[in-house]
């Protein structure tokens, strides 16, 4: 009986170590992909004076920045666990990663609210959003950091210090108390309600205005794609927040983590490259990438005679 228990624990430990390596690889690949598109999108927005003034691009850049920071903090936390650094720093990096993940969801909700206000409240939209946009982003960063710090303090005072600093390799958060689970679940459900309400009002206004009729398939397709993208952010976050810390349901938590990470990699495409105005601005780069190999081939083609050069007779 003891031998079988030991073998089970050893197999679970090997599985967790394998998942840590896979997570590190996914973090790295996602960070490179998202950061490359972020640099392209942010540089394009900053070079256009009209786009800089639009709130939707302001929120998009902050959302993509949060996605990059989440992958970066994930790589740091995985490296700390792999090299077995002091457990205190493992805990701190997990707290930072949790704060950034919440910032990803909050900026996603702000983007939904901004779209809803632009369609449903067009007359006062510009004056209102330009008044509150920087304050809203500041509140997002300060609020998420303070929330994570407060949860760390609460868990430190209520829990056993030996359990608090225990490394949990398979879970994207080590805040495993009931208070952390409840507050995290409430925040995620609140953000989900905000997104659903915003897109419901947007859909209703579009139906009344005739934008979502049978002939306009593009508008309906956009709303559906945004809804799926938001659900891929909300559902995984809710799953591993509700499960929390522990050695149970390792594969479920890892599957939710993979879906959440892939959803972030799709954000630059769904909210950035699918935007016609933004895509037109960066089309010069895409055209250059397509024409550069062809131009290089044409330049080198005359020199590739391979000994079959024709004899040219002089007149």
Identify whether 39 is part of a domain: yes
Identify whether 3 is part of a domain: no
Sign of CA dihedral 174, 175, 177, 180: negative
pLDDT at 34: 93
Distance CA 209, CA 216 (A): 12
263's tokens: 């959803």
CATH of the domain at 228: 1.20.1070.10
Residue pLDDT tens, the chain, 315 long: 455 555 565 566 677 777 778 888 899 999 999 999 999 898 888 888 888 888 899 999 999 999 999 999 888 877 777 776 666 677 777 778 888 988 999 999 999 999 888 888 888 888 888 888 888 888 988 988 888 888 777 776 765 555 554 444 444 445 666 777 888 889 999 999 999 999 888 888 877 776 666 556 777 788 888 889 999 999 998 888 888 766 667 788 888 889 999 999 999 989 988 888 888 877 766 666 666 555 555 555 554 444 444 444 444
Which residues 6+ apart lie within 8 Å of 88 measured at CB? 165
Identify whether 71 is part of a domain: yes
227's tokens: 């809804």
Identify whether 308 is part of a domain: no
Domain count, the chain: 1
Task: Specify the pTM.
Answer: 0.80
Which residues 6+ apart lie within 8 Å of 272 measured at CB? 37, 41, 60, 64, 278
Identify whether 159 is part of a domain: yes
Domain that holds residue 272: 10-282
Identify whether 155 is part of a domain: yes
Identify whether 209 is part of a domain: yes
Identify whether 58 is part of a domain: yes
Q: What angle do CA 12, 13, 19 make, to 5 degrees?
A: 90
Instruction: Give the three-class secondary structure for 284.
Output: helix
């Amino acid at each position: 009986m003891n031998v079988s228990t030991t073998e089970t624990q050893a197999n679970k430990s090997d599985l967790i170590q394998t998942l840590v390596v896979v997570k590190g690889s996914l973090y790295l690949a996602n960070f490179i992909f998202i950061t490359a598109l972020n640099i392209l999108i942010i540089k394009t927005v900053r070079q256009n004076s009209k786009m800089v003034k639009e709130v939707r691009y302001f929120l998009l850049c902050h959302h993509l920045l949060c996605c990059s920071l989440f992958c970066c903090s994930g790589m740091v936390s995985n490296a700390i666990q792999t090299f077995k650094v002091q457990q205190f720093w493992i805990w701190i990096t997990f707290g930072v990663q949790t704060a950034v993940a919440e910032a990803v969801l909050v900026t996603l909700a702000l983007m939904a609210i901004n779209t809803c206000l632009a369609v449903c409240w067009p007359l006062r939209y510009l004056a209102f959003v330009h008044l509150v946009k920087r304050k809203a982003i500041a509140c997002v960063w300060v609020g998420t950091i303070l929330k994570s710090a407060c949860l760390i303090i609460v868990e430190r005072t209520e829990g056993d210090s030996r359990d608090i600093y225990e490394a949990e390799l398979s879970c994207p958060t080590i805040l495993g108390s009931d208070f952390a689970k409840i507050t995290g679940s409430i925040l995620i459900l609140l953000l989900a309600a905000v997104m659903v309400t915003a897109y419901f009002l947007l859909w209703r206004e579009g139906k009344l205005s005739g934008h979502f009729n049978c002939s306009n398939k593009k508008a309906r397709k956009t709303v559906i794609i945004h809804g799926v993208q938001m659900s891929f952010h909300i559902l995984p976050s809710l799953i591993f927040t509700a499960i929390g810390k522990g050695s149970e349901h390792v594969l479920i938590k890892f599957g939710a983590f993979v879906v959440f990470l892939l959803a972030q990699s799709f954000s630059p495409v769904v909210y950035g490259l699918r935007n016609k105005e933004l895509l037109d601005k960066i089309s010069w780069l895409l055209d250059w990438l397509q024409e550069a190999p062809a131009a290089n081939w044409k330049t080198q083609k005359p020199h590739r005679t391979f000994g079959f050069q024709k004899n040219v007779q002089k007149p």
